[in-house]
Amino acid sequence: MQQTVLLPPQLRRQHKYNKIACIPMFITGSDKMKKFIHRCTNREDGQAMVEFALSLPIILILLCGIIDFGWVGFNMLTLQNVTREGVRSGIVVSDVVSNNAKVSQRIRDMAPDYVKDSVEIYITYSDPVNFKSGDITVVTKYRLKTITPFSGIFTKNGEFALEAECTMKMS
């Protein structure tokens, strides 16, 4: 003989989805009652938290890498552009001393504020005696600090060494 059991309100609140429409109000037989109670109490609520905790460091490292390498790419392009501008201003000057000063000043004027003071500028000529007949080469170097702390783990002193070089024919 089967008996009909009305679930107490405590069991209804323990259901995984907490919807009364999903919970049967009458269960026939004691085996079905045991299965229902087992299903209600056998939850996996902590699983999502554990998965999130395991994947969060990987996601953060990827995100920091994307941010820092975008920052490095932007600054590398900026350094190449200011080096090219310095060389362009240096190909039309009359003497070496004023040419070097003009090239250095042009690079510092074009560079962003955070680069101006710490950029290293090296100017060389392919023919030092008759410099107007050769080429001018300008090399700029800059040590760029990382933005995020995770990328600093993979670099020396948390800095990227950027270098740009440009050579043009003197006119």
pLDDT digits (tens, 9 = 90+) for 16-61: 554 444 445 454 556 776 777 766 665 666 788 888 999 999 999 8
Please state the domain count of the chain.
Answer: 2
Nearest 5°: phi and psi at 155?
-120, 165
Cβ–Cβ < 8 Å for 125, 134 = yes
Q: What is the pLDDT of residue 140?
A: 97
Q: What is the pLDDT of residue 49?
A: 86
**Nearest by Cα to 144 from 83, 74, 54:** 74
Q: What is the pLDDT of residue 21?
A: 42
Query: Are residues 76 and 140 located together in one domain of the fold?
Result: yes
Query: Are residues 37 and 78 located together in one domain of the fold?
Result: no
What kind and span of H or E run contains 21? none
The answer to whether residue 33 is domain-embedded is: yes
Rounded CA-CA distance 122/112 in Å is 18
**In 3-state terms, what secondary structure has residue 63?**
helix
Query: Are residues 37 and 74 located together in one domain of the fold?
Result: no
The answer to whether residue 102 is domain-embedded is: yes
Query: Are residues 159 and 98 located together in one domain of the fold?
Result: yes
Enclosing domain of residue 19:
4-41
Residues of the chain with pLDDT under 50: 15, 18-23, 25, 27
Rounded CA-CA distance 127/115 in Å is 30
The answer to whether residue 50 is domain-embedded is: no
Q: Is 10 left (phi over 0), alpha (psi -120 to 50) or beta?
A: alpha
Q: What is the pLDDT of residue 6?
A: 60
The answer to whether residue 11 is domain-embedded is: yes
The answer to whether residue 125 is domain-embedded is: yes
Q: What is the pLDDT of residue 149?
A: 83
Query: Are residues 90 and 158 located together in one domain of the fold?
Result: yes
The answer to whether residue 122 is domain-embedded is: yes
